[in-house]
Amino acid sequence: MTGASAPGKALLCGEYAVLDGAPAVVAAVDRRVRVAWTDERIAMSPEVEATLRRAQVEVGAAGRALRVDATDLHQDRIKLGLGSSAAAAAAAAGAVFASHGHDLADWTTLQRLFACALEGHSSIAPQGSGVDVAASTFGGFLRFERNDERVDTRRLEVPSELHIRLIWTGQAARTSELVKKVKELQREDPSRYGACSARLAELSARFASAFCNGNAPGVVAEAAEYCAAMKALGDAAGAPILEARLERAAELAARFSG
């Protein structure tokens, strides 16, 4: 096999809360990062290099380098927030496994592949939960939960009455800067952070439960509540987590959903 590909992700609910061990619901999207083996000496991202090393320890040596094409996850060279680095790590691990004849549709193989991609990605970006790596590895809709080193990933069916649409506001967010602000709040005002975090965890669990139970109206209601709680966290941290265009989109989604 000459390479592999992996989808980007859209986190439907659980932003920030998943970092504290709450469940999140994530979906793979129909835009992919593609990688191809090359004998050329080319620069690779740290996440891809780290994942290549880990995957080759797991299943054996493979090609020299991977050429990465992540243009599908960009718009006019701006990142769309679909987890391009995580998708690149998953695709890199997939390329190594595929080169040794492993079936990338096999769940056990995917679990091994995920462990390699998660370790490689986390060695460069340790602040993440790994939910994006999971979506890029397993695809589809997932319930994801991580407590310390234990990761629980389950496939989900979309509620039959639920219609999901992604929008692009035209402006990229610097997630690392937003997380930094939230971490500052956690250090400087742990009581206020704790209240925001507990609310997000409660709502994320309720969203996941509604999704798992096929309760489309419940999913919509909990999404609106989660959006409000995200705004409260952003206000507390002095971070534009829910900027004006996202807030307007959330208002419209809630209005036309019910």
In this structure, the answer to whether residues 111 and 192 fall within a common structural domain is no
The pLDDT confidence band at residue 227, using thresholds 50, 70 and 90, is very high
The residue out of 98, 129, 156 marking a domain boundary is 156
pLDDT at 1: 55
DSSP codes of every residue in 53-120? HHHHHHH----SEEEEE-GGGEETTEE-SS-HHHHHHHHHHHHHHHHTT--TT-HHHHHHHHHHHHHH
Looking at residue 200, its amino acid is L
Domain of residue 124, CATH code: 3.30.230.10
User: Is residue 229 domain-resident?
Assistant: yes
Range 221-249 average pLDDT:
91
Contact 54, 120 (CB under 8 A): yes
Range 188-212 average pLDDT:
97
The pLDDT confidence band at residue 244, using thresholds 50, 70 and 90, is confident
User: Is residue 167 domain-resident?
Assistant: no
In this structure, the answer to whether residues 186 and 144 fall within a common structural domain is no
pTM of the full structure: 0.92
Tens digit of pLDDT for each residue in 17-60? Answer: 999 999 999 999 999 999 999 988 899 999 999 999 999 999 99
Domain that holds residue 205: 175-257
Looking at residue 176, its amino acid is S
Residue 257 reports pLDDT greater than 80: no
In this structure, the answer to whether residues 63 and 146 fall within a common structural domain is yes
User: Is residue 165 domain-resident?
Assistant: no
The residue out of 156, 185, 213 marking a domain boundary is 156
User: Is residue 248 domain-resident?
Assistant: yes
In this structure, the answer to whether residues 150 and 184 fall within a common structural domain is no
Tens digit of pLDDT for each residue in 126-180? Answer: 888 999 999 999 999 999 999 887 999 999 999 999 999 888 888 777 777 888 8
Query: Whose CA is closest to 34, among 55, 5, 9?
Result: 5
Residues 6 or more apart in contact with residue 228 via CB below 8 angstroms: none
Mean pLDDT for all residues in the chain? 92
Query: Whose CA is closest to 234, among 173, 179, 159, 167?
Result: 179
Structural domain tally of the chain? Answer: 2
Q: Is 33 helix (H, G, I), strand (E, B) or coil?
A: strand
User: Is residue 211 domain-resident?
Assistant: yes
In this structure, the answer to whether residues 150 and 188 fall within a common structural domain is no
In this structure, the answer to whether residues 33 and 132 fall within a common structural domain is yes
Maximum pairwise Cα distance, the chain: 55
Query: Whose CA is closest to 242, among 221, 256, 224, 258?
Result: 224
For residues 7 and 97, what is the distance between their CA atoms, to the nearest angstrom? 17
Which tokens hold the place of 137? 């590895």
User: Is residue 163 domain-resident?
Assistant: no
Helices (H), the chain: 46-59, 84-99, 107-124, 131-138, 175-188, 190-212, 216-237, 244-257
